[in-house]
Amino acid sequence: MSKLFFSGDGSAKVDAIVAFGQMFQDDPDPGKVNLVVGVYRNAKGVTPVLDCVKGAEERLIGEETSKAYLPLAGEAAFVAGAGKLVFGAGHRRLAAGQIHSVQTPGSTGALRLAGELVRQRVPGASVWLGTPAYSNHRPIFQACGLGIQTCRYYDVARGVTTFADMLADLEKARPGDVVLLHAVCHNPSGADLTPGEWERLARFMAERSLLPLVDAAYLGIRGPLDEDAAGIRILADICPEVLVATSFSKNFALYAERVGLLSVVASSPADCAAAAGDLAAIVRALYTSPPSHGARVVATILSDDRLRALWVGELEAMRGRMLDMRMKFADLLDRHQVHGSVFPHIRDNRGMFVLSTLTADEVGQMREEDHIYLLDTGRLSVAGMNEADLPKICAAISRVTRHRFDTGNAG
């Protein structure tokens, strides 16, 4: 019998984030530093279980009576509470029955579900990704059979968004095409659109019948929740249809629980009902029922005034620590005389990541000589930085980039 399946050479490559994360795990050096994955770690290098989560779990242990399958749409209390968190409890389109949400296995699951819905509803649609793009967006939508197009979003050398260039590129998009947007804390750059740009972009897309798909992975990581959700709410105010994929991994530190939400903003309750039916069929074919525990934890926190206040305080502390690490990193880079051209606008951008102009060769040097791991694109995670590691990191960056600024190479 001839082989049909596993006869290849294993040449398919996993995502670079996963690959470098595994390289870090396999490195026996005790002084190794992981700046690859955007996972929050405290000053002790630990990703903590939040006190609000522990409180919710203690309550669930006492009150939970069943581990039966959840409905296809997920935990009802979570879906309702999370929807209000994303859009605001008083949003007119929630009140009008124009938003339908389903629980998903993380925001990766939400994005895949959105891609499947688009493929069914708009055959031949393309997904437009801003560049530089998050590495997993392309494979998610390619796996759905959707075409990929790109538009300029961020100038790596200058460290700023390129809004006018993005609009110019999107002039080529066709009605029904999807535009992937980051709600806040753009990954990998940390550079976000202003409220005025969000409004201009929303009107631009509405006029051209383009569908916004928002990846909201970092709500509450840049600033207060309502501020971080402003772009989503502007789109929902202006665009007739919007898709929003929300993650609760970062802001609740529930990475392992895979808590996500896909929200469909439609033009009418009837359209919402039609989308709900389509999503139910897709969910049944993909995974049938989402995991319950993390969703019940989030629902418990959001519905309890004490736990919710505790969560907001803990989220503010996480946000403050990441900002503090960003600024200390920038200050130490200055003391090491690392030019601003290597880390442009590091103090202005926000979120879990810093995007530098480090080259793949320079990154490789740091990996081989210093056991410091980051992506070849020059993206570093500030969320996982530890103050004790900063001198080593900055000294390595100074050493591998010094050749750029030698007098003899100034031209």
pLDDT, tens digit (0-9, with 9 covering 90-100), for 206-256 = 999 999 999 999 999 999 999 999 999 999 999 999 999 999 999 999 999
Please state which of the ranges 208-212, 255-259, 370-374 shows the lowest mean pLDDT.
370-374
Structure tokens at 315: 């989220």
pLDDT level of residue 408 (50, 70, 90 thresholds): very low
Amino acid at 359: T
Q: How buried is residue 223: exposed, middle or buried, by Cβ count under 10 Å (0-12/13-18/19+)?
A: middle
For a pLDDT cut of 90, what percent of the chain falls above it? 81
The C-alpha angle with vertex 96 and arms to 94 and 100, in degrees rounded to 5, equals 50
Structure tokens at 246: 């929300």
pLDDT reported for residue 30: 83
Q: How buried is residue 347: exposed, middle or buried, by Cβ count under 10 Å (0-12/13-18/19+)?
A: middle
Architecture of domain 69-303: 3-Layer(aba) Sandwich (3.40)
Is residue 343 within 8 Å of 394, Cβ to Cβ? Answer: no
Q: H helices then E strands: how many in the chain?
A: 15, 13
Q: Tokens 């469909």 map to which residue?
A: 264
Q: E strands along 248-324, which residues?
A: 259-265
User: The whole model's pTM is what?
Assistant: 0.92
Q: Is the pLDDT of residue 299 over 50?
A: yes
Structure tokens at 276: 């709900």
Q: Is the pLDDT of residue 205 over 80?
A: yes
Is residue 71 within 8 Å of 283, Cβ to Cβ? Answer: no
**Euclidean distance between CA atoms 85 and 340, whole angstroms:** 37
At 34 the three-state DSSP class reads strand
**Euclidean distance between CA atoms 260 and 314, whole angstroms:** 20
Is residue 344 within 8 Å of 157, Cβ to Cβ? Answer: yes
Q: Is the pLDDT of residue 309 over 60?
A: yes
The answer to whether the Cα torsion of 184, 295, 310, 354 is positive or negative is negative
Structure tokens at 323: 């900002």
Domains 16-49+308-401 and 69-303 in one fold: no
Q: Is the pLDDT of residue 410 over 80?
A: no
Q: Is the pLDDT of residue 34 over 70?
A: yes
- The domains of the chain are located at 16-49+308-401, 69-303
- Please, what's the largest Cα pairwise distance for the chain? 72
pLDDT level of residue 38 (50, 70, 90 thresholds): confident
pLDDT level of residue 411 (50, 70, 90 thresholds): very low
Instruction: Please say whether the structural domain 16-49+308-401 has been given the CATH code 3.90.1150.10.
Output: yes
Average pLDDT on 87-116 reads 94
For a pLDDT cut of 70, what percent of the chain falls above it? 94
**Which contacts qualify for 73-77: CB closer than 8 Å, 24 or more apart?**
73/101, 73/102, 73/103, 73/276, 73/279, 73/280, 73/283, 74/102, 74/103, 74/104, 74/290, 74/295, 75/103, 75/290, 75/292, 75/295, 75/296, 75/299, 77/296, 77/299, 77/303
Q: For 53-75, what is each residue's pLDDT tens digit?
A: 999 999 999 998 889 999 999 99
Structure tokens at 72: 């296809």
Residue 187 φ then ψ, to 5°: -105, 115
Q: Is the pLDDT of residue 12 over 90?
A: no
Mean pLDDT, the chain, rounded, equals: 91
Q: For 113-147, what is each residue's pLDDT tens digit?
A: 999 999 999 989 999 999 999 989 999 999 999 99
Average pLDDT on 285-295 reads 94
pLDDT level of residue 16 (50, 70, 90 thresholds): low
pLDDT level of residue 14 (50, 70, 90 thresholds): low
**Euclidean distance between CA atoms 214 and 130, whole angstroms:** 12
Sheet with 126-131, side-by-side order of all strands: 99-105, 259-265, 242-247, 211-216, 178-182, 126-131, 147-152
Give the chain's radius of gyration (CA, Å). Answer: 22
